Amino acid sequence: MTTREPTPLDRLFLNHIDGTGQLILVRHGQQQWPDPETSVSGDWVDPPLSELGRRQATAVGEYLAGIKIDAVYSSALARAHDTGKAIAGHHDLEPIVRPELREIQFYGDLPDDKRASDILGADVVKATGNRFVKERRWDVYPATESSLSFRRRVAIEIEAAIAGRAGQTVVIACHGGVINIYLAELLGLAVDMFFRPAHASVHRLTFSAERQVVTSLGEVSHLVGDLHTI
């Protein structure tokens, strides 16, 4: 059989190129939301999966069970780690935990036992949210990791996970902000959030030693009925 020479478009999009791999980014299942009336900032950092979130994690694990997966990574936060475990279990794997894949934390530099509104004022918190809607950049939040820092740590961790894995399939169970910031970096977008991934949604990229190419965003066919949430 004769293998045709890759065209410029093939090379651009990594089609018919030897040694390419597949990177699959998965948002965690729905978390158990803290009570907004009684919770403090620290309660929002690492909530577990809700009952629905556990079912979503099961569904995405079954969705990816039919393909060969060589490695599963996750952030250290429970909702992402448990989603990663639901995927990895079908492949006799354990998630490799990368703490730097954690979600950005609003007001993360403020004390965990306080509310941002108690320190900054409710009017500032409201105005900050309004400004985020307009700018779609994390830099609008005071006492929060900068957009540039977030981009750099996420890009380094994801690219470290796929380094040296030519021809393999790698899954990363992570967070909506992480998925957005990495794809925004790849696509050359100035904003930090440009779409809202559903819980337990799947996003695929093809990668080579030099670059990554987005091949699909927002796969949710495995999330039927009440499993499809944002």
Structure tokens, 219? 């796969």
Whether residue 103 lies in the annotated active site: yes
Q: Please, how many CA atoms are within 13 Å of residue 172, restricted to the half-sphere of its CB?
A: 27
CA-based max dimension of the chain: 70
Cβ contacts of 116 within 8 Å, gap of 6 or more: 41, 106, 107, 110, 125, 143
Active-site entry in 81, 91, 103, 219: 103
Whether residue 28 lies in the annotated active site: yes
Active-site entry in 28, 81, 91, 203: 28
CA distance 195 to 205: 16
Catalytic residues: 28, 103
